[in-house]
Chains A and B, each alone.
Chain A
Amino acid sequence: MAANKRKRKIVTPKTAPYFFIAPAVLFFLVFTLWPVIQSLLLSFQTSTGGQSEFAGFDNYIRLFNDGLFYTALFNTFTILIIQVPIMLSIAVVLAVLMNSALLKMRGFFRVAFFMPAITALVAYAIVFMIMLDENFGLVNYALSLVGIDPVAWLNDPFWAKVSLIIAITWRWTGYNMVIFLAGLQNISNDLYEAASIDGAGKIRQFFSITLPQLKPIFLFTAVLSTIGTLQLFDEPFILTDGGPNNSTLTISLYLYLNGFRYFDFNYASAIAYVLVIIIALFSYVQMKVVGDDDD
Protein backbone atom coordinates (compact mmCIF):
# COMPACT_ATOMS: atom_id res chain seq x y z
CA MET A 1 0.00 0.00 0.00
CA ALA A 2 1.48 3.27 -1.16
CA ALA A 3 -0.40 5.34 1.41
CA ASN A 4 1.64 3.74 4.15
CA LYS A 5 4.77 5.67 3.23
CA ARG A 6 3.10 8.94 3.99
CA LYS A 7 1.33 7.66 7.08
CA ARG A 8 4.34 6.00 8.61
CA LYS A 9 5.01 8.91 10.91
CA ILE A 10 1.55 8.75 12.44
CA VAL A 11 1.19 4.99 12.50
CA THR A 12 4.08 3.70 14.55
CA PRO A 13 4.21 0.46 16.54
CA LYS A 14 3.27 2.66 19.51
CA THR A 15 0.19 4.28 18.00
CA ALA A 16 -0.93 1.46 15.70
CA PRO A 17 -2.95 -0.47 18.34
CA TYR A 18 -5.19 2.57 18.82
CA PHE A 19 -5.95 2.60 15.11
CA PHE A 20 -6.69 -1.13 15.22
CA ILE A 21 -9.12 -0.95 18.14
CA ALA A 22 -10.70 2.35 17.05
CA PRO A 23 -13.55 0.86 14.95
CA ALA A 24 -14.45 -1.72 17.61
CA VAL A 25 -14.35 0.85 20.42
CA LEU A 26 -16.35 3.38 18.41
CA PHE A 27 -19.10 0.90 17.56
CA PHE A 28 -19.08 -0.37 21.12
CA LEU A 29 -19.55 3.12 22.56
CA VAL A 30 -22.35 4.09 20.18
CA PHE A 31 -24.27 0.84 19.88
CA THR A 32 -23.70 -0.86 23.24
CA LEU A 33 -22.51 1.40 26.03
CA TRP A 34 -24.72 4.36 25.21
CA PRO A 35 -27.90 2.23 24.80
CA VAL A 36 -27.11 0.38 28.04
CA ILE A 37 -27.00 3.71 29.91
CA GLN A 38 -29.95 5.13 28.00
CA SER A 39 -31.98 2.04 28.86
CA LEU A 40 -31.23 2.51 32.55
CA LEU A 41 -32.37 6.14 32.34
CA LEU A 42 -35.54 5.12 30.48
CA SER A 43 -36.38 2.63 33.21
CA PHE A 44 -36.51 5.49 35.72
CA GLN A 45 -38.87 7.62 33.62
CA THR A 46 -42.45 7.57 32.50
CA SER A 47 -43.75 9.20 29.34
CA THR A 48 -47.13 10.53 28.43
CA GLY A 49 -47.76 11.99 24.99
CA GLY A 50 -44.08 12.27 24.09
CA GLN A 51 -43.15 14.00 27.35
CA SER A 52 -40.76 12.07 29.59
CA GLU A 53 -40.36 12.72 33.25
CA PHE A 54 -38.34 11.26 36.07
CA ALA A 55 -40.38 8.70 37.95
CA GLY A 56 -37.94 7.17 40.41
CA PHE A 57 -38.59 3.51 40.98
CA ASP A 58 -42.19 3.64 39.73
CA ASN A 59 -41.59 1.24 36.85
CA TYR A 60 -39.83 -1.23 39.12
CA ILE A 61 -42.54 -0.98 41.77
CA ARG A 62 -45.14 -1.57 39.07
CA LEU A 63 -43.14 -4.56 37.87
CA PHE A 64 -43.00 -6.15 41.30
CA ASN A 65 -46.79 -5.82 41.56
CA ASP A 66 -47.42 -7.12 38.06
CA GLY A 67 -48.98 -10.58 38.08
CA LEU A 68 -48.07 -11.17 34.43
CA PHE A 69 -44.42 -10.49 35.16
CA TYR A 70 -44.48 -13.18 37.84
CA THR A 71 -46.17 -15.50 35.37
CA ALA A 72 -43.37 -14.82 32.89
CA LEU A 73 -40.74 -15.40 35.59
CA PHE A 74 -42.43 -18.62 36.67
CA ASN A 75 -42.69 -19.91 33.09
CA THR A 76 -39.10 -19.07 32.25
CA PHE A 77 -37.75 -20.73 35.38
CA THR A 78 -39.95 -23.79 35.00
CA ILE A 79 -38.64 -24.31 31.48
CA LEU A 80 -35.09 -23.63 32.64
CA ILE A 81 -35.14 -26.00 35.60
CA ILE A 82 -36.67 -28.87 33.64
CA GLN A 83 -35.15 -28.40 30.21
CA VAL A 84 -31.48 -27.73 30.97
CA PRO A 85 -30.85 -30.83 33.14
CA ILE A 86 -32.75 -33.10 30.72
CA MET A 87 -30.83 -31.76 27.75
CA LEU A 88 -27.42 -31.92 29.40
CA SER A 89 -28.07 -35.48 30.64
CA ILE A 90 -29.02 -36.67 27.17
CA ALA A 91 -26.03 -34.82 25.72
CA VAL A 92 -23.58 -36.48 28.13
CA VAL A 93 -24.98 -39.96 27.54
CA LEU A 94 -24.88 -39.46 23.77
CA ALA A 95 -21.32 -38.16 24.00
CA VAL A 96 -20.20 -41.21 26.00
CA LEU A 97 -21.83 -43.52 23.45
CA MET A 98 -20.25 -41.55 20.60
CA ASN A 99 -16.88 -41.94 22.29
CA SER A 100 -17.18 -45.73 22.43
CA ALA A 101 -14.36 -47.65 20.76
CA LEU A 102 -16.99 -49.95 19.25
CA LEU A 103 -18.43 -47.16 17.12
CA LYS A 104 -17.60 -46.72 13.46
CA MET A 105 -18.72 -43.79 11.30
CA ARG A 106 -18.34 -41.36 14.18
CA GLY A 107 -18.14 -38.45 11.75
CA PHE A 108 -21.53 -39.29 10.27
CA PHE A 109 -23.20 -39.45 13.68
CA ARG A 110 -21.60 -36.20 14.74
CA VAL A 111 -22.87 -34.37 11.69
CA ALA A 112 -26.35 -35.84 12.09
CA PHE A 113 -26.61 -34.86 15.75
CA PHE A 114 -25.22 -31.39 15.10
CA MET A 115 -27.62 -30.68 12.24
CA PRO A 116 -30.40 -29.14 14.40
CA ALA A 117 -27.91 -26.58 15.74
CA ILE A 118 -27.53 -24.96 12.30
CA THR A 119 -31.25 -24.29 11.79
CA ALA A 120 -32.71 -20.85 12.24
CA LEU A 121 -34.78 -20.70 15.42
CA VAL A 122 -37.76 -19.34 13.51
CA ALA A 123 -37.55 -22.12 10.91
CA TYR A 124 -37.44 -25.01 13.34
CA ALA A 125 -40.12 -23.45 15.54
CA ILE A 126 -42.44 -23.37 12.52
CA VAL A 127 -41.72 -27.00 11.65
CA PHE A 128 -42.45 -28.04 15.24
CA MET A 129 -45.62 -25.97 15.28
CA ILE A 130 -46.93 -27.93 12.31
CA MET A 131 -45.77 -31.32 13.60
CA LEU A 132 -47.43 -30.68 16.96
CA ASP A 133 -50.79 -29.63 15.52
CA GLU A 134 -53.51 -31.11 17.70
CA ASN A 135 -55.83 -32.43 14.99
CA PHE A 136 -53.66 -33.25 12.02
CA GLY A 137 -50.08 -33.15 13.33
CA LEU A 138 -47.62 -35.90 12.72
CA VAL A 139 -46.82 -36.42 16.39
CA ASN A 140 -50.42 -37.09 17.38
CA TYR A 141 -50.76 -39.42 14.40
CA ALA A 142 -47.71 -41.38 15.58
CA LEU A 143 -49.18 -41.51 19.10
CA SER A 144 -52.50 -42.75 17.73
CA LEU A 145 -50.67 -45.73 16.20
CA VAL A 146 -49.75 -46.91 19.69
CA GLY A 147 -53.20 -46.15 21.02
CA ILE A 148 -52.55 -42.82 22.75
CA ASP A 149 -55.26 -40.16 22.51
CA PRO A 150 -54.41 -36.89 20.76
CA VAL A 151 -52.52 -34.42 22.94
CA ALA A 152 -53.38 -30.70 22.76
CA TRP A 153 -49.69 -29.86 22.41
CA LEU A 154 -49.99 -26.14 21.76
CA ASN A 155 -53.49 -25.47 23.12
CA ASP A 156 -53.14 -26.74 26.66
CA PRO A 157 -51.18 -24.71 29.23
CA PHE A 158 -49.27 -27.74 30.52
CA TRP A 159 -48.51 -29.35 27.15
CA ALA A 160 -47.53 -26.01 25.62
CA LYS A 161 -44.64 -25.83 28.08
CA VAL A 162 -43.77 -29.44 27.31
CA SER A 163 -43.78 -28.61 23.60
CA LEU A 164 -41.35 -25.76 24.13
CA ILE A 165 -39.09 -28.01 26.18
CA ILE A 166 -39.15 -30.72 23.48
CA ALA A 167 -38.40 -28.17 20.76
CA ILE A 168 -35.50 -26.53 22.59
CA THR A 169 -34.06 -29.91 23.52
CA TRP A 170 -34.17 -30.98 19.87
CA ARG A 171 -32.39 -27.82 18.79
CA TRP A 172 -29.56 -27.80 21.35
CA THR A 173 -28.78 -31.36 22.51
CA GLY A 174 -26.41 -32.15 19.63
CA TYR A 175 -24.65 -28.84 20.10
CA ASN A 176 -23.92 -29.66 23.73
CA MET A 177 -23.08 -33.27 22.87
CA VAL A 178 -20.25 -32.10 20.61
CA ILE A 179 -18.85 -29.97 23.44
CA PHE A 180 -19.00 -32.94 25.84
CA LEU A 181 -17.45 -35.22 23.22
CA ALA A 182 -14.46 -32.89 22.89
CA GLY A 183 -14.17 -32.90 26.70
CA LEU A 184 -14.29 -36.72 26.82
CA GLN A 185 -11.49 -36.99 24.32
CA ASN A 186 -9.30 -35.01 26.69
CA ILE A 187 -9.74 -37.46 29.57
CA SER A 188 -6.63 -39.61 29.89
CA ASN A 189 -7.10 -43.32 29.18
CA ASP A 190 -4.84 -44.14 32.12
CA LEU A 191 -7.65 -43.22 34.49
CA TYR A 192 -9.97 -45.80 32.95
CA GLU A 193 -7.25 -48.45 32.80
CA ALA A 194 -6.43 -47.95 36.45
CA ALA A 195 -10.12 -48.20 37.31
CA SER A 196 -10.49 -51.38 35.26
CA ILE A 197 -7.59 -52.96 37.13
CA ASP A 198 -9.31 -52.02 40.37
CA GLY A 199 -12.35 -53.87 39.09
CA ALA A 200 -14.67 -50.90 38.45
CA GLY A 201 -17.34 -51.59 35.84
CA LYS A 202 -18.36 -49.28 33.00
CA ILE A 203 -21.19 -47.68 34.93
CA ARG A 204 -19.04 -47.15 37.99
CA GLN A 205 -16.36 -45.60 35.76
CA PHE A 206 -18.94 -43.25 34.24
CA PHE A 207 -19.92 -41.88 37.64
CA SER A 208 -16.52 -41.84 39.32
CA ILE A 209 -14.27 -40.79 36.42
CA THR A 210 -16.22 -39.42 33.45
CA LEU A 211 -18.62 -37.12 35.26
CA PRO A 212 -16.06 -35.55 37.65
CA GLN A 213 -13.59 -35.03 34.79
CA LEU A 214 -16.29 -33.30 32.76
CA LYS A 215 -17.10 -30.82 35.51
CA PRO A 216 -15.64 -27.75 33.81
CA ILE A 217 -17.56 -28.62 30.65
CA PHE A 218 -20.75 -29.00 32.67
CA LEU A 219 -20.19 -25.54 34.08
CA PHE A 220 -19.60 -24.09 30.63
CA THR A 221 -22.66 -25.72 29.03
CA ALA A 222 -24.88 -25.02 32.04
CA VAL A 223 -24.03 -21.32 32.06
CA LEU A 224 -24.52 -21.05 28.29
CA SER A 225 -27.84 -22.91 28.37
CA THR A 226 -29.09 -20.93 31.34
CA ILE A 227 -28.31 -17.60 29.73
CA GLY A 228 -29.93 -18.81 26.51
CA THR A 229 -33.09 -20.04 28.22
CA LEU A 230 -33.45 -16.88 30.28
CA GLN A 231 -33.53 -14.97 26.98
CA LEU A 232 -35.97 -17.38 25.33
CA PHE A 233 -37.94 -15.51 22.68
CA ASP A 234 -38.12 -16.92 19.14
CA GLU A 235 -39.70 -20.27 20.06
CA PRO A 236 -42.57 -19.05 22.24
CA PHE A 237 -43.16 -16.16 19.81
CA ILE A 238 -43.65 -18.55 16.88
CA LEU A 239 -44.98 -21.72 18.52
CA THR A 240 -47.52 -20.33 20.97
CA ASP A 241 -47.26 -16.53 21.02
CA GLY A 242 -47.07 -16.85 24.78
CA GLY A 243 -50.32 -18.75 25.11
CA PRO A 244 -52.51 -20.46 25.85
CA ASN A 245 -53.53 -18.30 28.77
CA ASN A 246 -49.96 -16.90 29.12
CA SER A 247 -48.61 -20.33 29.99
CA THR A 248 -45.59 -19.85 27.70
CA LEU A 249 -45.11 -16.13 28.26
CA THR A 250 -41.36 -15.71 28.87
CA ILE A 251 -39.51 -12.71 30.27
CA SER A 252 -38.16 -11.74 26.84
CA LEU A 253 -41.54 -12.12 25.22
CA TYR A 254 -43.14 -9.95 27.90
CA LEU A 255 -40.43 -7.35 27.34
CA TYR A 256 -41.14 -7.39 23.59
CA LEU A 257 -44.89 -7.11 24.10
CA ASN A 258 -44.52 -4.11 26.41
CA GLY A 259 -41.98 -2.43 24.16
CA PHE A 260 -43.34 -3.08 20.71
CA ARG A 261 -47.02 -3.92 21.04
CA TYR A 262 -47.98 -1.55 23.88
CA PHE A 263 -45.07 0.85 23.15
CA ASP A 264 -44.28 1.35 26.81
CA PHE A 265 -40.53 1.78 26.37
CA ASN A 266 -39.98 2.76 29.98
CA TYR A 267 -41.64 -0.28 31.45
CA ALA A 268 -39.91 -2.56 28.92
CA SER A 269 -36.55 -1.06 29.92
CA ALA A 270 -37.22 -1.88 33.55
CA ILE A 271 -37.98 -5.48 32.54
CA ALA A 272 -34.70 -5.56 30.58
CA TYR A 273 -32.73 -4.45 33.62
CA VAL A 274 -34.36 -7.01 35.88
CA LEU A 275 -33.44 -9.64 33.27
CA VAL A 276 -29.81 -8.46 33.32
CA ILE A 277 -29.68 -8.78 37.08
CA ILE A 278 -31.22 -12.25 36.99
CA ILE A 279 -28.73 -13.43 34.37
CA ALA A 280 -25.78 -11.98 36.29
CA LEU A 281 -26.93 -13.63 39.54
CA PHE A 282 -27.50 -16.99 37.89
CA SER A 283 -24.15 -17.04 36.14
CA TYR A 284 -22.42 -16.06 39.37
CA VAL A 285 -24.18 -18.71 41.46
CA GLN A 286 -23.52 -21.45 38.92
CA MET A 287 -19.84 -20.61 38.79
CA LYS A 288 -19.70 -20.63 42.59
CA VAL A 289 -21.58 -23.90 42.99
CA VAL A 290 -19.83 -25.87 40.28
CA GLY A 291 -16.49 -24.15 40.27
CA ASP A 292 -15.69 -23.74 43.94
CA ASP A 293 -14.13 -26.88 45.30
CA ASP A 294 -11.63 -27.21 42.43
CA ASP A 295 -9.47 -24.28 43.28
Chain B
Amino acid sequence: MTDKKKTSVIIRKILLYITLGIGVILSIFPFYWMFIGATNPSGAIFSVPPNLLPGDFLVENFTNLNENVGIIRVLMNSLIIALTFTFFAVLIAAAAGFAFAKYQFKGRNAIFFTLLLAIMIPYHVTLIPLFQMMADLGWLNTYRAVLLPNLAYPFAIFLMRQNMRSIPNSLLEAARVDGAGEFKIFFQIVLPTMRPALAAVAIFLFMFQWNNFLWPLVVLGDSDMYTLPVALSSLVGMSRVDYGQIMMGTTLSVLPIMIFFLLLQRQFISGILGGSVKE
Protein backbone atom coordinates (compact mmCIF):
# COMPACT_ATOMS: atom_id res chain seq x y z
CA MET B 1 0.00 0.00 0.00
CA THR B 2 1.38 3.40 -0.90
CA ASP B 3 1.52 6.18 1.69
CA LYS B 4 -1.07 8.17 -0.19
CA LYS B 5 -3.53 5.33 -0.15
CA LYS B 6 -2.88 4.71 3.53
CA THR B 7 -3.66 8.33 4.43
CA SER B 8 -6.83 8.26 2.40
CA VAL B 9 -8.01 5.17 4.27
CA ILE B 10 -7.26 6.87 7.59
CA ILE B 11 -9.13 10.00 6.55
CA ARG B 12 -12.08 7.95 5.42
CA LYS B 13 -12.06 6.08 8.69
CA ILE B 14 -12.05 9.31 10.69
CA LEU B 15 -14.91 10.78 8.65
CA LEU B 16 -16.86 7.55 9.05
CA TYR B 17 -16.53 7.51 12.83
CA ILE B 18 -17.26 11.23 13.15
CA THR B 19 -20.46 10.97 11.08
CA LEU B 20 -21.72 7.89 12.86
CA GLY B 21 -20.60 9.33 16.21
CA ILE B 22 -22.75 12.45 15.67
CA GLY B 23 -25.65 10.20 14.72
CA VAL B 24 -25.21 8.14 17.88
CA ILE B 25 -25.14 11.26 20.06
CA LEU B 26 -28.34 12.55 18.44
CA SER B 27 -30.00 9.15 18.95
CA ILE B 28 -28.95 8.65 22.55
CA PHE B 29 -28.91 12.15 23.98
CA PRO B 30 -32.70 12.50 24.55
CA PHE B 31 -32.56 9.36 26.70
CA TYR B 32 -29.69 10.72 28.77
CA TRP B 33 -31.47 14.00 29.18
CA MET B 34 -34.64 12.20 30.23
CA PHE B 35 -32.75 10.38 33.01
CA ILE B 36 -31.21 13.68 34.11
CA GLY B 37 -34.68 15.20 34.25
CA ALA B 38 -35.98 12.31 36.33
CA THR B 39 -33.29 12.86 38.98
CA ASN B 40 -33.72 16.63 39.30
CA PRO B 41 -36.47 18.91 40.61
CA SER B 42 -38.91 20.35 38.08
CA GLY B 43 -37.26 23.75 37.68
CA ALA B 44 -33.80 22.32 37.00
CA ILE B 45 -34.86 21.11 33.60
CA PHE B 46 -35.08 24.67 32.31
CA SER B 47 -31.99 26.08 34.02
CA VAL B 48 -29.63 28.17 31.91
CA PRO B 49 -27.04 26.93 31.17
CA PRO B 50 -28.69 23.50 31.11
CA ASN B 51 -27.89 21.11 33.87
CA LEU B 52 -26.43 17.92 32.41
CA LEU B 53 -25.62 16.13 35.63
CA PRO B 54 -27.78 13.70 37.59
CA GLY B 55 -29.33 15.12 40.75
CA ASP B 56 -30.61 13.53 43.94
CA PHE B 57 -34.33 14.06 43.35
CA LEU B 58 -35.05 10.61 41.96
CA VAL B 59 -36.93 9.22 44.96
CA GLU B 60 -38.77 12.47 45.53
CA ASN B 61 -39.94 12.60 41.90
CA PHE B 62 -41.15 9.04 42.15
CA THR B 63 -43.02 9.69 45.40
CA ASN B 64 -44.61 12.84 44.01
CA LEU B 65 -45.56 11.05 40.82
CA ASN B 66 -47.14 8.27 42.82
CA GLU B 67 -49.15 10.73 44.89
CA ASN B 68 -50.14 12.62 41.77
CA VAL B 69 -51.20 9.85 39.37
CA GLY B 70 -50.68 6.64 41.37
CA ILE B 71 -47.79 5.55 39.21
CA ILE B 72 -47.40 2.16 40.92
CA ARG B 73 -51.00 1.33 40.10
CA VAL B 74 -50.49 2.65 36.57
CA LEU B 75 -47.40 0.49 36.08
CA MET B 76 -49.34 -2.54 37.31
CA ASN B 77 -52.16 -1.76 34.87
CA SER B 78 -49.74 -1.50 31.96
CA LEU B 79 -47.89 -4.65 32.95
CA ILE B 80 -50.99 -6.79 33.52
CA ILE B 81 -52.59 -5.64 30.27
CA ALA B 82 -49.43 -6.06 28.17
CA LEU B 83 -48.53 -9.48 29.60
CA THR B 84 -52.04 -10.93 29.39
CA PHE B 85 -52.45 -9.57 25.90
CA THR B 86 -49.09 -10.94 24.74
CA PHE B 87 -49.73 -14.40 26.17
CA PHE B 88 -53.11 -14.89 24.53
CA ALA B 89 -52.32 -13.08 21.28
CA VAL B 90 -49.21 -15.21 20.75
CA LEU B 91 -51.17 -18.39 21.44
CA ILE B 92 -53.99 -17.40 19.07
CA ALA B 93 -51.53 -16.38 16.36
CA ALA B 94 -49.47 -19.55 16.75
CA ALA B 95 -52.53 -21.81 16.54
CA ALA B 96 -53.91 -20.03 13.49
CA GLY B 97 -50.49 -19.79 11.86
CA PHE B 98 -49.97 -23.51 12.39
CA ALA B 99 -53.29 -24.35 10.77
CA PHE B 100 -52.66 -22.08 7.78
CA ALA B 101 -49.14 -23.44 7.29
CA LYS B 102 -49.56 -27.16 7.89
CA TYR B 103 -53.10 -28.27 7.05
CA GLN B 104 -55.15 -28.50 3.88
CA PHE B 105 -58.72 -27.47 4.53
CA LYS B 106 -61.67 -25.93 2.81
CA GLY B 107 -61.63 -22.13 2.83
CA ARG B 108 -58.00 -21.95 3.96
CA ASN B 109 -56.83 -19.46 1.36
CA ALA B 110 -59.98 -17.34 1.47
CA ILE B 111 -59.83 -16.99 5.25
CA PHE B 112 -56.09 -16.30 5.26
CA PHE B 113 -56.44 -13.68 2.55
CA THR B 114 -59.25 -11.94 4.44
CA LEU B 115 -57.08 -11.79 7.55
CA LEU B 116 -54.21 -10.36 5.48
CA LEU B 117 -56.46 -7.61 4.14
CA ALA B 118 -57.08 -6.57 7.72
CA ILE B 119 -53.39 -5.61 8.03
CA MET B 120 -54.07 -2.79 5.59
CA ILE B 121 -57.06 -1.42 7.51
CA PRO B 122 -56.14 1.50 9.75
CA TYR B 123 -57.38 0.86 13.25
CA HIS B 124 -59.20 4.19 13.18
CA VAL B 125 -62.01 2.56 11.24
CA THR B 126 -62.88 0.24 14.09
CA LEU B 127 -62.31 2.84 16.81
CA ILE B 128 -65.82 4.24 17.10
CA PRO B 129 -67.90 1.05 16.74
CA LEU B 130 -65.57 -0.68 19.22
CA PHE B 131 -65.97 2.19 21.66
CA GLN B 132 -69.77 1.94 21.35
CA MET B 133 -69.55 -1.83 21.79
CA MET B 134 -67.54 -1.47 24.99
CA ALA B 135 -69.86 1.23 26.25
CA ASP B 136 -72.95 -0.92 25.54
CA LEU B 137 -71.40 -3.89 27.32
CA GLY B 138 -70.50 -1.67 30.27
CA TRP B 139 -66.84 -2.55 29.79
CA LEU B 140 -65.36 0.95 29.66
CA ASN B 141 -62.56 1.32 32.22
CA THR B 142 -61.74 -2.38 32.23
CA TYR B 143 -58.64 -4.32 31.23
CA ARG B 144 -60.64 -6.44 28.82
CA ALA B 145 -61.80 -3.38 26.89
CA VAL B 146 -58.15 -2.51 26.26
CA LEU B 147 -56.87 -5.93 25.33
CA LEU B 148 -59.71 -7.84 23.65
CA PRO B 149 -60.00 -5.96 20.33
CA ASN B 150 -56.45 -6.73 19.14
CA LEU B 151 -56.12 -10.31 20.35
CA ALA B 152 -56.35 -11.71 16.83
CA TYR B 153 -53.47 -9.60 15.54
CA PRO B 154 -53.35 -10.24 11.77
CA PHE B 155 -49.68 -9.40 11.34
CA ALA B 156 -48.72 -11.83 14.12
CA ILE B 157 -50.79 -14.57 12.46
CA PHE B 158 -49.06 -13.86 9.18
CA LEU B 159 -45.61 -14.06 10.79
CA MET B 160 -46.43 -17.28 12.60
CA ARG B 161 -47.65 -18.87 9.38
CA GLN B 162 -44.44 -17.89 7.57
CA ASN B 163 -42.35 -19.41 10.35
CA MET B 164 -44.45 -22.54 10.79
CA ARG B 165 -43.90 -23.51 7.17
CA SER B 166 -40.37 -24.56 8.07
CA ILE B 167 -41.64 -27.37 10.33
CA PRO B 168 -40.96 -30.64 8.50
CA ASN B 169 -44.11 -32.61 7.70
CA SER B 170 -42.28 -35.82 8.56
CA LEU B 171 -42.02 -34.64 12.18
CA LEU B 172 -45.80 -34.22 12.40
CA GLU B 173 -46.46 -37.52 10.63
CA ALA B 174 -44.11 -39.39 12.95
CA ALA B 175 -45.97 -37.98 15.96
CA ARG B 176 -49.31 -39.06 14.46
CA VAL B 177 -48.00 -42.56 13.86
CA ASP B 178 -47.01 -42.62 17.54
CA GLY B 179 -50.64 -41.88 18.36
CA ALA B 180 -50.36 -38.22 19.34
CA GLY B 181 -53.52 -36.14 18.90
CA GLU B 182 -53.47 -32.88 16.97
CA PHE B 183 -53.60 -30.67 20.08
CA LYS B 184 -50.79 -32.65 21.66
CA ILE B 185 -48.71 -32.19 18.52
CA PHE B 186 -49.31 -28.45 18.66
CA PHE B 187 -48.50 -27.98 22.34
CA GLN B 188 -45.70 -30.51 22.74
CA ILE B 189 -43.94 -30.45 19.38
CA VAL B 190 -44.83 -27.33 17.41
CA LEU B 191 -44.66 -24.70 20.16
CA PRO B 192 -41.31 -25.89 21.61
CA THR B 193 -39.62 -26.04 18.22
CA MET B 194 -40.93 -22.59 17.32
CA ARG B 195 -39.54 -20.87 20.41
CA PRO B 196 -37.36 -18.24 18.64
CA ALA B 197 -40.22 -17.20 16.35
CA LEU B 198 -42.63 -17.09 19.30
CA ALA B 199 -40.20 -14.87 21.19
CA ALA B 200 -39.90 -12.42 18.29
CA VAL B 201 -43.68 -12.23 17.87
CA ALA B 202 -44.13 -11.88 21.64
CA ILE B 203 -41.72 -8.93 21.77
CA PHE B 204 -43.53 -7.30 18.87
CA LEU B 205 -46.94 -7.71 20.54
CA PHE B 206 -45.73 -6.68 23.99
CA MET B 207 -44.22 -3.48 22.60
CA PHE B 208 -47.40 -2.77 20.67
CA GLN B 209 -49.54 -3.05 23.79
CA TRP B 210 -47.09 -1.37 26.20
CA ASN B 211 -46.89 1.68 23.93
CA ASN B 212 -50.49 1.63 22.68
CA PHE B 213 -52.06 5.03 23.25
CA LEU B 214 -55.15 6.00 21.25
CA TRP B 215 -57.38 3.03 22.12
CA PRO B 216 -56.60 3.01 25.89
CA LEU B 217 -57.05 6.80 25.88
CA VAL B 218 -60.53 6.32 24.48
CA VAL B 219 -61.76 3.49 26.70
CA LEU B 220 -60.05 4.38 29.98
CA GLY B 221 -61.65 7.44 31.54
CA ASP B 222 -60.95 6.53 35.16
CA SER B 223 -57.44 7.46 36.26
CA ASP B 224 -57.21 4.30 38.40
CA MET B 225 -57.27 2.26 35.22
CA TYR B 226 -54.84 4.37 33.16
CA THR B 227 -52.00 2.70 31.35
CA LEU B 228 -48.61 4.40 31.32
CA PRO B 229 -48.97 6.35 28.03
CA VAL B 230 -52.43 7.61 29.04
CA ALA B 231 -51.20 8.65 32.49
CA LEU B 232 -48.23 10.44 30.91
CA SER B 233 -50.43 12.36 28.53
CA SER B 234 -52.66 13.38 31.44
CA LEU B 235 -49.60 14.79 33.23
CA VAL B 236 -48.84 17.04 30.27
CA GLY B 237 -52.37 18.42 30.37
CA MET B 238 -52.28 19.37 34.05
CA SER B 239 -52.44 23.03 34.92
CA ARG B 240 -49.33 22.91 37.09
CA VAL B 241 -46.88 20.83 35.10
CA ASP B 242 -44.09 19.21 37.12
CA TYR B 243 -41.30 18.31 34.73
CA GLY B 244 -39.37 16.20 37.22
CA GLN B 245 -42.42 13.98 37.59
CA ILE B 246 -43.02 13.87 33.86
CA MET B 247 -39.45 12.83 33.14
CA MET B 248 -39.72 10.23 35.89
CA GLY B 249 -42.84 8.88 34.18
CA THR B 250 -41.28 8.75 30.71
CA THR B 251 -38.21 7.08 32.21
CA LEU B 252 -40.42 4.43 33.79
CA SER B 253 -42.05 3.77 30.45
CA VAL B 254 -38.76 3.54 28.55
CA LEU B 255 -36.35 1.94 31.04
CA PRO B 256 -37.83 -1.58 31.36
CA ILE B 257 -38.03 -1.92 27.58
CA MET B 258 -34.52 -0.54 27.20
CA ILE B 259 -33.05 -3.07 29.64
CA PHE B 260 -34.84 -5.87 27.83
CA PHE B 261 -33.60 -4.51 24.54
CA LEU B 262 -29.97 -4.41 25.65
CA LEU B 263 -30.21 -8.00 26.88
CA LEU B 264 -31.98 -9.41 23.83
CA GLN B 265 -30.90 -7.10 21.00
CA ARG B 266 -31.18 -9.60 18.20
CA GLN B 267 -34.62 -10.94 19.11
CA PHE B 268 -35.78 -7.41 19.77
CA ILE B 269 -34.73 -5.98 16.46
CA SER B 270 -36.22 -8.85 14.49
CA GLY B 271 -39.33 -8.73 16.71
CA ILE B 272 -39.94 -5.02 16.29
CA LEU B 273 -39.26 -5.14 12.59
CA GLY B 274 -41.89 -7.87 12.52
CA GLY B 275 -39.47 -10.49 11.24
CA SER B 276 -39.12 -8.56 8.01
CA VAL B 277 -35.35 -8.65 8.46
CA LYS B 278 -33.69 -12.01 8.37
CA GLU B 279 -30.20 -12.28 9.73
Query: Which A residues lie at the B interface, using CB under 8 A?
Result: 1, 4-5, 7-8, 11-14, 16-21, 23-28, 31-32, 34-36, 38-39, 42, 94, 97-98, 100, 102-103, 107, 109-124, 126-131, 133, 135-138, 141, 170, 174-175, 178-179, 182, 220, 227, 230-231, 233-234, 237-238, 252, 255-256, 259-260, 265, 268-269, 272-273, 275-276, 279-280, 283
Of the candidates A5, A7, A32, A238, which one forms a contact with B236 in the assembled complex, judged by CB atoms under 8 Å apart?
A: A238
**B11-19, B56-64, B67-75: which lies at the A interface?**
B11-19
Q: Residues of B contacting A109 with CB < 8 Å?
A: 20, 24
Report the nearest A residue to B274, measured CB to CB: A224
Q: Quick check: A11 and B182 within 8 Å, CB to CB?
A: yes
CA distance A255 to B125 in the complex (A): 10
Partner of A130, one of B37, B96, B131, B181: B37
Q: Within the assembled complex, what's the spacing in Å between the Cα atoms of A224 and B62? A: 37
Residue of B nearest to A113 (CB): B27
Report B-chain residues with C-beta under 8 Å of the C-beta of A178: 269, 273, 277
Given contacts A35-B125, A112-B27, A179-B273, contact A18 B105 (CB under 8 A): yes
> In whole angstroms, how far apart are the Cα atoms of A181 and B269 in the complex?
12
Q: Across the interface, which residues of A come within 8 angstroms of B194, CB to CB? A: none
Instruction: Say yes or no: A272 contacts B261, CB within 8 Å.
Output: no
Q: Which residues of B contact A18 (CB under 8 A)?
A: 99, 105
Report A86 CB to chain B, min CB distance, Å.
14
Give every chain A residue within 8 A of B28 (Cβ-Cβ): 112, 115
Known: A110-B269, A231-B122, A268-B127. 10 other contacts (CB 8 A): A14-B105, A36-B121, A122-B228, A122-B233, A123-B250, A233-B214, A252-B124, A260-B131, A265-B132, A276-B125
Residues of A contacting B168 with CB < 8 Å? none
**Are B124 and A16 in contact, with the CB atoms below 8 A?**
no
A130 to chain B, nearest CB (A): 6
- Do A272 and B181 touch (CB < 8 A)? no
Once the chains bind, are B279 and A182 in contact (CB under 8 Å)?
Answer: yes
Q: How far is the CB of A35 from chain B (nearest CB, A)?
A: 4
Binary CB contact string for chain B from 19 to 62 against chain A (1 if under 8 A, 0 otherwise): 11001101110110110010000000111111000000000000
Nearest B residue (CB) for A177: B23
Given contacts A21-B100, A170-B27, A175-B273, A141 and B93 within 8 Å (CB-CB): no
Asked if B211 is at the interface of the complex by the 8 Å CB criterion, the answer is: yes
Compute how far the CA of A98 lies from the CA of B47 in the bound complex, rounded to whole angstroms: 37
Q: How far is the CA of A28 from the CA of B45 in the complex (A)?
A: 46
A170 touches B26 (CB 8 A): yes
Residues 89-113 of B, flagged 1 when their CB comes within 8 A of A and 0 if not, give 0001101101110010100100100
B186 at interface, CB cutoff 8 A: yes
